């Protein structure tokens, strides 16, 4: 899929582009506790497009996503979600008190009704079959994360926002999760905003990478970002050499889950046996 | 003979009033423990005494005075939280004790009115009148109806404020309504339990019900039932041993909590052993 480099600059010419977007953050800044958590951040997500935001810890990725969703107020710029856009949000973590008795099915129907069949199908999709009646407190971290993903996608969102969905998920789990996100994007034709602290690996289908470090240090196609001098300066040449991309390999479709995904160019990931520079 | 009939009468009134309170407190108390707002409940209850003081000072209805003061304290909490320098815990500590102390100070300064401070602090369920019962049941019905109306968004906001907000549930609005409901319940039922112990019947029955429930609605109903049982147990104990009614009801709730805790621990131990022996 050939996608042009997305315009993520904040000049006036980008304005009509932003207007057509599902979600558009224009030059946003969040000032808290006497400092700018993020500043001059531009993110645009369009229908059918996958935008991956990467950056080190504390670089303001979650803050930017929350500002884009209107969960925190911006002190500069503007964040807009187009009218009528249905958002599916998978936060980094939520803490549900033990005293609240919630089953997985109930978690999925907190804000809207869904049929039993729909719930079962969605749970099967995220790899939690037969878990509908399990109390959420008994789920492992990874299972809970997938339950949250299920509750986001059962809404059939126009815009799917995932905050570090692969954290604490092992390598094969990551591949499966990325494949699932791609399938959801293809099926719903939604826009996807994916946040990852992994500076080196982004989903193969990523159209735009936004590299954050308090501000947008660079953005563009994965390849473009890897070659950007500022990315190299910030994270070292080793990082840019290692900016790798997951690609779904259609030549190897005989694995247990029906697919094999090869890691391209991941020099420090060759212990997975899929490294190919 | 007539003495006994009178005794039955005030006892029945106390029982009816207490059960009315427990039925409203049960579902509301569930949300208080799910949202970790136990200390908030305490703070609103303590501020009720300041409300009583102002009501006496301005010569307005005590229930109205308590409700208004509870709302003022709740708003002060929201404003101080928004400033974002002190933790909620600390803010509640400041508001709670300041309100209680200020209430006692003001009441003691008003030498021209005779106030039974102990009745406000510990409650006096044995003196409830028919009119009090009418207020508890009518007010309680309104509170429960409003709680039912905001049930879904409040539950969603309790699970996750951010998710509720992105999915258009207006969590700030329902939180505000919920705070008003707590203030209303405390204003209406202060006379039953007293300011110091009123939150006990919001928290202990809900915590007791948790172990035996698998859905929020089930827990709300069981909390109401456990609360009603605690009222019955406490009042009979109070009559039998001639102990103060409010504290006796809380002691009854505590007793049920401990028995249920021991039972559920025993049941889970037996279950674990059964699994063990199966290999």
In a domain, A51, yes or no: yes
Contact residues, chain B, for A87 at CB < 8 Å = 166-167
Q: Is A111 on the interface with B (CB under 8 A)?
A: yes
Residue A248 lies in a domain: no
Give the per-residue pLDDT at A220.
Answer: 81
Residue B116 vs residues B61, B109, B201, B275: alpha-carbon distances, Å: 16, 14, 23, 58
Number of separate domains in chain A:
2
Do A82 and A179 lie in a common domain?
A: yes
Q: Among residues A155, A172, A190, which one ends one of the domains?
A: A155
Chain B residues in contact with A110 by the CB 8 A cut-off are 152, 155-156, 159, 163-164
Residue A12's pLDDT is 40
Query: Which residues of chain A does B159 touch, with a Cβ-Cβ cutoff of 8 Å?
Result: 94, 96, 100, 102, 107, 110
* Residue A138 falls inside a structural domain: yes
On the question of pLDDT at A42 being above 80, the answer is: yes
What is the pLDDT, as a whole number, of residue A265? 36
B80 vs chain A: nearest CA distance in angstroms? 15
Regarding whether A105 and A28 lie in a shared domain, the answer is no
Q: Which segment of A38-52, A218-232, B226-240 scores lowest on mean pLDDT?
A: A218-232
| Residue of B30, B33, B154, B159 to mutate, testing the A interface (most A Cβ within 10 Å of its Cβ) | B159
Q: What ipTM was estimated for this complex? A: 0.85
Q: Supply the pTM of this predicted model.
A: 0.83
pLDDT at B54 over 90: yes
- A142 to chain B, any CB pair closer than 8 A? The answer is no
* A interface test, pick of B156, B163, B212, B217 with most A CB neighbours within 10 Å: B163
Same domain, A77 and A174: yes
The pLDDT tens digits of the residues spanning B81-126 come to: 888 788 889 999 999 999 999 999 999 998 888 888 888 898 889 8
Confirm whether A225 is domain-assigned: yes
> Does any CB of chain B come closer than 8 Å to the CB of residue A155?
yes
What's the pLDDT at B278? 56
**pLDDT, position B24:** 97
Query: What pLDDT, on a 0 to 100 scale, did the predictor assign at position A205?
Result: 82
Give yes or no: residues A128 and A218 share one domain: no
Among B33, B153, B164, beta carbon nearest to A99:
B33
| CATH homologous superfamily of B2-196 | ABC transporter involved in vitamin B12 uptake, BtuC (1.10.3470.10)
pLDDT, greater one: B62 or B273: B62
Residue percentage of chain B with pLDDT more than 70: 96
Cβ B160–A91 below 8 Å, yes or no? yes
CA distances from A261 to A174, A177, A272, B92 (A): 10, 11, 11, 53
- pLDDT value at position B1? 43
* Residues A123 and A9 occupy one common structural domain: no
Tens-place pLDDT, residues B222-246? 999 999 999 999 999 999 999 999 9
Over residues B120-140, the mean pLDDT reads 91
Q: Output the six-digit token pair for B26.
A: 């049960």
Q: How far is CA B253 from CA A93, A215, B238, in A?
A: 35, 55, 13
Write phi, then psi, for A213 (nearest 5 degrees). Answer: -150, 65
A199 and A81 in a single domain? The answer is yes
Distance from CA of B264 to the nearest CA of A (A): 15
State yes or no: pLDDT of B38 exceeds 50: yes
Q: Is residue A121 part of a domain?
A: yes
A14 and A149 both lie in a single domain: no
- pLDDT band of residue A14 (cuts 50, 70, 90) is very low
B108 interfaces chain A, CB cutoff of 8 Å = no
Domains of chain B by residue range: 2-196
CB B24 within 8 A of CB B185: yes
Chain segment A110-140, per-residue pLDDT in tens: 999 999 999 999 999 988 999 999 999 999 8
In a domain, A249, yes or no: no
- Give pLDDT tens digits for A58-76: 888 999 999 999 999 999 9
Place of tokens 């558009």: A24
DSSP chain A: ---PPP----SGGGHHHHHHSSEEEEEEEEEETTEEEEEEEEEEE-TT-EEEEE--TTSSHHHHHHHHTTSS--SEEEEEE-TTPPEEEE-S-----TTS--BHHHHHTSSS---HHHHHHHHHHTT-TT-TTSBGGGS-HHHHHHHHHHHHHTT--SEEEEESTTTT--HHHHHHHHHHHHHHHHHH--EEEEEES-SSEE-TT-SEEEEESSSEEEEESHHHHHH-HHHHHHHHHHHHHH-EEEEEETT---STTS-EEEEES-GGGGGGS----
pLDDT value at position B8? 58
How many angstroms separate the CA atoms of A43 and A25, rounded? 5
| A151 plus A170 within the same structural domain | no
* Predicted pLDDT at A64: 93
Q: How far apart are CA A253 and CA A207, in angstroms?
A: 24
Question: Using alpha carbons only, what angle is made at residue A133 by residues A129 and A139, rounded to the nearest 5 degrees?
Answer: 70
A54 is a domain residue: yes
Local confidence band at A78 (pLDDT 50, 70, 90 cut-offs): very high
Rounded-to-integer distance, Cα A163 and Cα A49, Å: 16
CB contact under 8 A, A135 and B158: no
- Are A221 and A209 spatial neighbours (Cβ–Cβ below 8 Å)? yes
Nearest chain B Cα distance for residue A183, angstroms: 23
Residues A172 and A237 in one domain: yes
Which has the minimum average pLDDT: A170-174, A186-190, A258-262?
A258-262
B74: phi then psi, degrees, rounded to nearest 5: -65, -40
| The two structure tokens encoding residue B3 | 């003495």
Q: Which domain holds residue A166?
A: 1-86+156-243
CA B66 – CA B46 distance, rounded (Å): 10
* pLDDT (0 to 100) of residue A238: 62
Least confident of A4-13, A182-191, A250-259, B207-216: A250-259
Query: Percentage of residues in chain A with pLDDT exceeding 70?
Result: 77
Task: Indicate whether A253 belongs to any domain.
Answer: no
Beta strand A201-202 with A87-90 is unpaired
Measure B40 CA to nearest chain A CA, in Å. Answer: 16
Q: How confident is the model at residue B277 (pLDDT cuts 50, 70, 90)?
A: low
């Amino acid at each position: 899929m050939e996608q042009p480099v997305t315009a993520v600059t904040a000049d006036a010419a980008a304005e009509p582009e932003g207007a057509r977007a599902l979600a558009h953050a224009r030059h946003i800044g969040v000032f808290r506790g006497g400092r700018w958590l993020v500043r001059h951040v531009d993110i645009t997500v369009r229908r059918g497009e996958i935008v991956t935001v990467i950056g080190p810890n504390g670089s303001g990725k979650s803050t930017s996503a929350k500002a884009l969703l209107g969960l925190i107020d911006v002190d500069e710029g503007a964040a807009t979600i187009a009218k009528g856009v249905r958002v599916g949000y998978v936060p980094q973590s939520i803490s549900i008190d033990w005293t609240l008795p919630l089953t997985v099915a109930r978690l999925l129907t907190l804000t809207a009704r869904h049929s039993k069949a729909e719930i079962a199908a969605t749970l099967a999709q995220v790899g939690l079959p037969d878990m509908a009646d399990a109390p959420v407190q008994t789920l492992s971290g990874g299972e809970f994360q997938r339950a949250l993903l299920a509750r986001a996608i059962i809404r059939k969102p126009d815009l799917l926002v995932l905050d570090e969905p692969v954290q604490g998920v092992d390598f094969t789990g990551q591949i499966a999760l990325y494949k699932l996100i791609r399938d959801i994007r293809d099926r719903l034709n939604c826009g996807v905003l994916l946040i990852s602290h992994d500076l080196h690996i982004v989903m193969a289908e990523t159209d735009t990478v936004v590299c954050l470090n308090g501000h947008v240090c660079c953005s563009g196609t994965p390849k473009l970002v890897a070659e950007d001098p500022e990315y190299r300066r910030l994270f070292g040449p080793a990082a840019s050499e290692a900016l790798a991309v997951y690609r779904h390999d259609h030549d190897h479709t005989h694995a247990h889950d029906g697919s094999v995904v090869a890691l391209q160019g991941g020099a420090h990931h060759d212990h997975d046996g899929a490294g190919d520079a | 003979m007539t003495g006994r009939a009178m005794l039955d009468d005030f006892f029945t009134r106390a029982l009816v009033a207490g059960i009315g309170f427990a039925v409203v407190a049960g579902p509301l108390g569930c949300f208080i423990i799910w949202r970790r707002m136990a200390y908030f409940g305490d703070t609103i209850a303590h501020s009720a005494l300041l409300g009583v003081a102002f009501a006496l000072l301005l010569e307005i209805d005590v229930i109205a005075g308590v409700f208004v003061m509870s709302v003022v304290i709740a708003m002060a909490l929201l404003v101080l939280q928004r400033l974002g320098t002190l933790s909620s815990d600390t803010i509640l500590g400041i508001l709670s004790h300041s309100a209680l102390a200020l209430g006692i100070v003001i009441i003691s300064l008003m030498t021209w009115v005779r106030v039974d401070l102990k009745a406000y602090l510990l409650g006096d369920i044995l003196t409830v009148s028919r009119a009090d019962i009418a207020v508890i049941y009518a007010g309680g019905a309104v509170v429960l109806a409003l709680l039912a109306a905001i049930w879904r968004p409040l539950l969603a906001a309790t699970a996750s404020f951010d998710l509720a907000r992105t999915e258009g549930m207006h969590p700030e609005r329902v939180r505000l309504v919920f705070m008003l409901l707590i203030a209303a319940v405390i204003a209406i039922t202060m006379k039953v339990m007293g300011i110091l112990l009123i939150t006990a019947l919001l928290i202990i029955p809900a915590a007791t019900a948790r172990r035996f429930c698998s859905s929020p609605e089930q827990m709300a109903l069981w909390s109401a039932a456990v609360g009603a049982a605690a009222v019955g147990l406490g009042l009979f104990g109070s009559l039998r041993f001639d102990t103060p009614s409010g504290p006796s009801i809380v002691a009854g709730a505590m007793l049920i909590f401990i028995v249920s805790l021991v039972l559920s621990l025993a049941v889970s131990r037996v279950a674990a052993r059964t699994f063990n022996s199966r290999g």
